[in-house]
Amino acid sequence: MNFMKVITTHFNADFDCLASMLAAKKLYPDAKMVFPGSQEKNVRDFLKSSDYSFQFDKLKNIPLDDITELIIVDTRLAGRIGQFESVAKKRGVSVHVYDHHPNTPQDIESEITVVKDRGSTAAIFVEILREKCISITPAEATIMALGIYEDTGSLTFTSTRPEDLEAAAYLLSSGANLNVVSDFIYRELSPEQVSLLNDLIHGLEIHDINGLPVALSSASSDRYIGDLAILTHKLKDMENLNVLFVIVTMEDRIHLVARSRIEAVDVAAVAH
């Protein structure tokens, strides 16, 4: 019988996932970090350009039966962690969850649950590390800042909370390098993303719902295209929309992203 701790996150891992995994590793130093699947392209590019990729273990090298503690960050949806779903549901496995998403009926049951209303999971970890007086190196601060900046649209999305700004300020004073942050956050769109954005612009319809203009656009792609949230945000800014729903069928799954900048429309509630 072995005792193995594993830190994992959701499919298509973004910078908030990477930041949260590395921060969790500081709380669970004997845990292995394992992605359940692929990463967003900018995260892959970042890992290639750094030494951090060597700190991650490959899923295929992990004997899942040996896992006794599973630390899940930036999600708690059973369907988003791949093979770790069955591990999380196994008797005798202690599950710890750190997340900033709203509750859903598909949430994984956990022994320790740290869920806070923040724009990023990274901000939750920065608060914990500060509380525990665990120091953050400049390189770590840069990655955690990438997590916060990406998930909050550089602190501009309405999901941003004061705590995200406080965490970002703390990371800056810990030596976070904003040149690296802007290099990886403000990167150009890929040709597939530009073409999807074009499809969404052309498919845009404005509906009048109780006197309120609500924008809807849908498109499809036979392959997965990352960062739909960024494309949705760009579309909202370009067309100056207050309420926007974007539905894209990719491969065999339907992805929905909703954004609202007015309080009368709670898109998170509608999307459920």
Positions touching Mn ion (CB under 5 A) are 16, 74, 121, 151
Q: Is the dihedral of CA 104, 165, 38, 12 positive or negative?
A: positive
Q: Given the complex with Mn ion, which of 122 and 215 has the nearer CB atom?
A: 122
Give the angle subtended at the CA of 28 by the CAs of 96 and 61, to the nearest 5°.
Answer: 85
Instruction: Please answer whether residues 267 and 259 qualify as being in contact, where contact means their C-beta atoms are separated by less than 8 angstroms.
Output: yes
The residues that bridge with 94 in the sheet, in sequence order, are: 69
Cα separation, 31 vs 27, in Å, equals: 9
Q: Given the complex with Mn ion, which of 40 and 151 has the nearer CB atom?
A: 151
Structure-token pair, residue 179: 């040149």
Kindly write down the DSSP assignment for every residue of 188-233, as one continuous string: PPPHHHHHHHHHHHHT-EEEEETTEEEEEEEEEESS--S-HHHHHH
Q: Given the complex with Mn ion, which of 40 and 140 has the nearer CB atom?
A: 40
Kindly write down the DSSP assignment for every residue of 40-54, as one continuous string: -HHHHHHHHTSSGGG
The least distance separating Mn ion from the CB of residue 9, rounded to whole angstroms, comes to 9
Q: Given the complex with Mn ion, which of 16 and 163 has the nearer CB atom?
A: 16
- State the residue number with the nearest CB to Mn ion: 16
Q: Given the complex with Mn ion, which of 140 and 151 has the nearer CB atom?
A: 151
The least distance separating Mn ion from the CB of residue 17, rounded to whole angstroms, comes to 7
- The DSSP 8-state label assigned to residue 93 in this structure reads -
Instruction: Please answer whether residues 225 and 192 qualify as being in contact, where contact means their C-beta atoms are separated by less than 8 angstroms.
Output: yes
The least distance separating Mn ion from the CB of residue 210, rounded to whole angstroms, comes to 32
Q: Given the complex with Mn ion, which of 16 and 69 has the nearer CB atom?
A: 16
Q: Please, which residues have CB within 8 angstroms of residue 42's CB and are 6 or more apart in sequence?
A: 15, 184, 185, 187, 227
The least distance separating Mn ion from the CB of residue 42, rounded to whole angstroms, comes to 14
Q: Given the complex with Mn ion, which of 21 and 235 has the nearer CB atom?
A: 21
The least distance separating Mn ion from the CB of residue 100, rounded to whole angstroms, comes to 6
The least distance separating Mn ion from the CB of residue 171, rounded to whole angstroms, comes to 16
**Which stretches of 42-101 are assigned E, i.e. beta strand?**
56-57, 67-73, 94-99
Cα separation, 88 vs 71, in Å, equals: 9
The least distance separating Mn ion from the CB of residue 124, rounded to whole angstroms, comes to 10
Q: Given the complex with Mn ion, which of 17 and 241 has the nearer CB atom?
A: 17
Cα separation, 265 vs 227, in Å, equals: 23
The least distance separating Mn ion from the CB of residue 66, rounded to whole angstroms, comes to 28
